[in-house]
């Protein structure tokens, strides 16, 4: 499967980095989405209606159980009136 041990080590390291990056983005979006939604005094159901999604989908994103596709990111950011980057920027 691997040509040598160093290739295997490199690929495992790359995979761990990628997985951590993806998990960080999911967590970051979950935190920002929940914060912005609360600031706007919206329930998950209200946001879901505005974004054309299900409340269950919004809840899964807020719990970081589910990643948002680029399309869903656009729908949510549009419904909230924010740039998509605001949902993906790590809080300082």
For residues 54 and 24, which has the higher predicted lDDT (pLDDT)?
Answer: 54
Is residue 13 situated within a structural domain? Answer: no
- Cβ(64)–Cβ(27) below 8 Å: yes
DSSP state of 52: T
Confidence label for 8 from pLDDT (cuts 50, 70 and 90): confident
Is residue 40 situated within a structural domain? Answer: yes
> Which domain covers residue 73, as residue numbers?
22-88
**Mapping DSSP to helix (H, G, I), strand (E, B) and coil, where does residue 67 land?**
coil
Is residue 8 situated within a structural domain? Answer: no
Confidence label for 30 from pLDDT (cuts 50, 70 and 90): very high
Contacts by residues 71-76 (CB-CB < 8 Å, ≥ 24 positions apart): 73/29, 75/51, 76/33, 76/47, 76/51
Residue 20 pLDDT exceeds 90 = no
Report how far apart, in Å, the C-alpha atoms of 58 and of each of 3, 17, 92 are: 43, 26, 24
Is residue 82 situated within a structural domain? Answer: yes
Predicted TM-score of the model (pTM): 0.76
CA 41, CA 39: separation in Å to the nearest integer?
5
Residue 47 pLDDT exceeds 90 = yes
Is residue 72 situated within a structural domain? Answer: yes
Is residue 2 situated within a structural domain? Answer: no
Structural domains counted in the chain: 1
pLDDT on residue 1 = 61
CATH no. for residue 51?
1.10.260.40
């Amino acid at each position: 499967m691997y040509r040598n041990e160093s290739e295997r080590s490199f690929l495992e390291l790359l995979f761990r980095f990628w997985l951590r990056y993806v998990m960080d983005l999911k967590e970051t979006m979950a935190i920002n989405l929940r914060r912005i939604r609360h600031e706007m005094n919206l329930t998950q159901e209200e946001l879901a209606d505005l974004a054309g999604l299900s409340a269950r989908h919004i809840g899964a994103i807020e719990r970081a159980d589910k990643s948002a596709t680029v399309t869903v990111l656009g729908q949510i950011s549009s419904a909230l009136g924010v740039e998509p980057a605001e949902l993906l920027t790590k809080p300082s």
